[in-house]
Chain A
């Protein structure tokens, strides 16, 4: 199968899965116990017959379920995910406001976990069964096993409460509140404004949550890289490389690492999207106003349109991520065409 046909097939599959995602979010929105009107509009808006009538018309509540689903999808395509009960804002606007913070933090977490994970994984495989390998095994398994919410509290206690070298919760310190944010990404905004104090403050607020988020992915990454490296090291072409007279370092860097890291591409893509979804606990504890924080607030206040909007956004990103990973994989490794 040519790469183009493969890409086309993957794209089609992604569209099918996305349609399924929409069906599920639609079903959950309709499974709400009690009156779905109350769940989606909130108690206060219920007393206003105008709002109720408008809502019923917009979502076609007097029509059949398939028609309602059609309206749901049409509204989505027009960027309408409903109105948040809690913030009274359109959910799409809320998501646009909170998402950049999460992207920044998840990206930082991904960088930390990928760099450390690859380093640890390659070292572990190269020095298999040594004390170093055993030590890194323990470190990565601890990383996987630490409850994120507990690690977050420990770090806050140590670096903020006890040592006082890290800022507390939030995205920026008190004196930066209300800074000019044209893009929503604090790194870009501060650079645009040339405000390095803001940049430093923003990064300082980001580092602890990112470390917490990175811990478990780092562990998984280390284990995956180690096992795929070991896989490669059993191959005949490495014996050939050694027989040619290359020293161990040349064999590792020139032959083993290149091939051994291919499976990590999958890990990389999947971990990025799982990080995006995993921000709920971390953002809640650090009071970091991102998507996870928004989802948590929405869930505790039973703000249904908001939580379904957040769920849908992350699910759709996952679909796109999976597609990208598959395509990159196929580009790197020509044997993959299925």
Chain B
């Protein structure tokens, strides 16, 4: 089969994933080229044009301070997209290593480590994040780390499960027989074989991470104003339903990014799931 035929077959089989990937690409480009895409300074106030409806001059209208919402949404990509990725990357690294150690060394260490993960998991993540936010204060870095703090246990659980399966495979046994050190086996043989499913979970999680980040922003517990953070922008419009555009457009941005990541994640899960492969 030619390459273009293969691509076409993939597009036909996973149209949503392709759509999701295209949307992500657009958002990445917008984030990189934000100064060129934005029509105005996202921080420039114009008190003579407060709550102006969408028009050719202000595509998405203006907010309480007469700031151009389109430009703010455009610059917002530079906050929410990196935040989502950082949350997932940090959780994946920490949770992954944690789970791998618990699963590989097993026994009492496993029990203790997984109980700690259970404890963190039993907290309501948003409420715990709010409590921690009150303790640590609001900066972008703090918000990201707080979400990581409540987010890593599911990666730990997943990784532990994977390691438990891989540990029993023959190539691991042969590494043991060859006299490799335990740490070398874990790092060189086991972890590389567990990375793919973990990455699938991570990609499916990006949407949720952005939702959580903007949720904290909406509650005023995220990045401090006047940063053009999407969640905080939605909250700006919560009290003025009449000027629907203030909340509507930042919300559309959050939703679009999150649904795009979920389209990709869902297809990856299908592709990775061997049980589903047998059915087709």
Contacts and interface: CB of A to CB of B under 8 A. Distances in A.
B237 A153 contact: yes
Interface string A169-191: 00000000000000000000000
A161 B115 CA distance: 48
B244 interface: yes
B247 interface: yes
B262 A141 contact: yes
A150 B247 contact: yes
B214 interface: yes
A21 interface: yes
A142 interface: yes
Given A145-B259, A150-B251, A230-B275, A311 B241 contact: no
Contacts of B131: 28, 299, 307-308, 311
Interface string B236-280: 011001101001100100110011011100100000010110110
B126 A141 contact: no
A307 B134 contact: yes
Interface in A225-279: 227, 230-231, 233-234, 273-274, 276-278
B125 A147 contact: no
B219 A281 contact: yes
Contacts of B126: 277-278, 280-281
A128 B270 CA distance: 13
B123 interface: yes
A138 interface: yes
Interface in A299-316: 299-300, 302, 304, 307-308, 310-311, 314-316
Contact of A157 (B207, B220, B244): B244
Interface in B114-154: 115-116, 118-128, 130-135, 137
Contact of A145 (B125, B247, B262, B278): B262
A150 B259 contact: no
Interface stretch (A12-20, A57-65, A193-201): A12-20
A223 interface: yes
Contacts of B134: 299, 302, 304, 307
Contact of A147 (B221, B241, B255, B278): B255
A300 B220 contact: yes
Contacts, number: 153
B220 A295 contact: no
B266 A284 contact: no
A148 B215 contact: yes
B40 interface: no
Contacts of A153: 234, 237-238, 241, 247, 251
A144 B208 CA distance: 8
Contacts of B120: 24
Contacts of B121: 318
B51 interface: no
Max chain B CB contacts within 10 Å: which of A142, A144, A308? A144
Given A33-B135, A308-B131, A315 B16 contact: no
A284 B118 CA distance: 28
Contact of B241 (A145, A157, A292, A300): A157
Interface in A108-166: 128, 134, 137-138, 141-142, 144-150, 153-154, 156-157, 160-161
B86 to A, nearest CB: 19
Contacts of A300: 220
Contacts of A314: 123-124, 127
B124 A234 contact: no
B218 interface: yes
Contacts of B238: 149, 153, 285
B235 interface: yes
Contact of B218 (A146, A154, A281, A318): A281
A299 B134 CA distance: 7
A32 B241 contact: no
A234 B258 contact: no
A24 B214 contact: no
A161 B242 contact: yes
A1 interface: no
A278 to B, nearest CB: 7
B214 A227 contact: no
A177 B89 CA distance: 49
Given A148-B215, A231-B275, A234-B278, A24 B241 contact: no
B190 to A, nearest CB: 22
9 contacts: A20-B118, A149-B235, A230-B279, A281-B126, A299-B133, A307-B131, A308-B131, A311-B124, A322-B122
Interface of A: 13, 16-17, 20-21, 24, 28, 31-33, 128, 134, 137-138, 141-142, 144-150, 153-154, 156-157, 160-161, 223, 227, 230-231, 233-234, 273-274, 276-278, 280-281, 284-285, 292, 295-296, 299-300, 302, 304, 307-308, 310-311, 314-316, 318-319, 322
The 10 closest A-B pairs by CB, nearest first: A277-B124, A150-B251, A20-B119, A145-B259, A145-B258, A318-B122, A299-B130, A314-B124, A161-B241, A149-B218
Given A153-B234, A230-B276, A273-B124, 6 more contacts: A31-B135, A147-B214, A147-B255, A285-B238, A299-B221, A314-B124
